[in-house]
Each structure stands twice: as structure tokens, then as C-alpha cells.
């Protein structure tokens, strides 16, 4: 559903087929996006070769994969992307993108929270995995994620936007990274504060933004089917 939502918006924002083709090839042509992809390959690809978690090393690899998914992909890269969207929303722009992203934000936050709960369970069942070496690996992982996302921020922000620039994005990403480290039971490393008030507000799940046209809370017991070919 998330993919369908963003594909629909992409068709709207980039009606020219050549522009859409270029957008889909961004990972090949834009170094900052390729850097994020290579980060994922480095920390997550090896788990695909694991059929069983027989050794401590296997379980550590799986655990690092899960932590990368929760803390770096869902918990840092996505939160960086959300910040750009909500910066537009705060200026009354891109209503459809902001409203749809509210649903995505909730879903991805739930994914992250569930993954952290699984990590908590692993910590209870196999506390020996959570040693000093793992703590250093996770810290290094998040430092790399911050730098990869910051390269992307430099491409987007350029010389700076009203209320957002590369330095404020660095501060925000460092703040988020510290939050993820603390949630995982490790010491924070940056000590940065969140510079974006609009991202503090986003933590209030049922908030209906001043610029939104209708609330984006999920409904319960919706009847009927979802037709992905209908207009949004």
C-alpha cells in the first residue's frame, strides 16, 4: 500500500515518462542515494545466507540485521524522509503527500516498535549477545547511517531552506540516532537536541494538522475492498 501511494504521487508529480525513469534509476545515478543502498547491503545482505541460527556468530548477525532494520532503516532513514515531508506540510504545501505520509509514519513507527520489542526478547533469552562488541557495532552502524543520510540532506537542502538546512538536519539525525541507541540499551553518543518542532508534534499520533483537509486516523471495521486503480 505504501508503494502504491508513492507511485501514484510520482505519476502526478512527474507526468513525463523520462522523468519517472530517471527517478527510478536514482540509486544508480545519485551518489547520496547509492551510499544509503550500500549501507543497507553492508549491514543487512549477509543475513540472506543464514538458513539456521546455529552458532553465536549466526545469532549475532541476525540480531545486527534486525537492529539495522529497526534503528537505521525504519528509525533513521525514514525519519529523515518524514522530516522533509512535514517541512512542506508546515508551509501549507503538498497536502496529499503529507496526509498519505501520516499513515506511512504510523505504520513504520509500529514496524520499528515491534522490531525493538523482538530485540528486547532476544536480550532476555540470550543476554550474552549484548556484550561490549555488539554495543560498539551498533554505535558504529548508527554513526554510518547518520553520515549516509546527511549526504542525502546536502543534496536536498543545498544552501539551505527557511527553517531547514544541512546543519539542522545533522542535529536532527544525531538526536534521532541517540534516541535509537537509548531504546536499544546503549549509551547516546551525540547529545544533540531536536531542532524541528514540527517533528515533535508528529509524535502526537492523532494530531490533525492545521493545513490538513481531514484527519488521517485509521478507521475500524471498514467494509468493502481496496481498488488500487481508483483515483486518490
Active site (catalytic) residues: 6
184 in Cβ contact with 67 (< 8 Å): yes
**Scanning the structure block, which residue is given the C-alpha cell 526478547?**
121
Burial of 74: CB neighbours in 10 Å, binned 0-12, 13-18, 19+: buried
Q: How far is CA 7 from CA 12, 50, 100, in A?
A: 9, 32, 12
Of the CA atoms within 13 Å of residue 161, those in its CB half-sphere come to 16
How would you classify residue 191: left for phi > 0, otherwise alpha for psi between -120 and 50, otherwise beta? left
Q: Which residues contact 84 (CB under 8 A, 6 or more apart)?
A: 156, 164
Give the DSSP letter of residue 218. P
Amino acid at each position: 500500500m505504501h508503494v502504491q501511494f508513492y507511485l501514484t504521487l510520482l505519476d502526478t508529480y512527474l507526468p513525463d515518462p523520462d522523468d519517472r525513469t530517471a527517478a527510478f534509476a536514482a540509486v544508480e545515478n545519485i551518489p547520496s542515494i547509492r551510499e544509503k543502498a550500500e549501507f543497507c547491503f553492508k549491514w543487512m545482505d549477509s543475513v540472506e545466507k543464514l538458513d539456521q541460527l546455529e552458532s553465536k556468530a549466526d545469532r549475532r548477525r541476525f540480531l545486527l540485521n534486525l537492529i539495522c532494520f529497526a534503528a537505521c532503516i525504519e528509525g533513521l532513514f525514514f525519519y529523515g524522509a518524514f522530516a522533509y515531508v512535514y517541512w512542506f506540510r508546515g508551509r501549507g504545501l503538498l497536502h496529499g503527500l503529507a496526509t498519505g505520509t501520516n499513515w506511512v509514519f504510523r505504520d513504520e513507527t509500529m514496524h520499528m516498535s515491534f522490531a525493538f520489542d523482538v530485540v528486547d526478547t532476544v536480550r532476555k533469552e540470550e543476554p550474552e549477545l549484548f556484550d561490549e562488541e555488539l554495543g560498539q557495532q551498533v554505535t558504529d552502524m548508527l554513526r554510518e547511517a547518520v553520515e549516509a543520510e546527511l549526504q542525502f540532506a546536502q543534496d536536498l537542502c543545498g544552501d539551505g531552506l527557511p527553517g531547514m538546512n544541512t546543519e539542522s538536519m545533522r542535529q536532527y539525525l544525531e538526536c534521532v540516532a541517540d534516541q535509537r541507541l537509548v531504546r536499544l540499551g546503549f549509551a547516546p553518543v551525540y547529545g544533540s537536541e531536536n531542532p524541528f518542532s514540527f517533528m515533535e508534534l508528529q509524535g502526537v499520533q492523532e494530531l490533525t494538522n492545521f493545513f490538513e483537509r481531514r484527519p488521517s486516523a485509521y478507521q475500524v471495521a471498514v467494509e468493502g475492498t481496496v481498488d488500487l486503480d481508483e483515483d486518490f
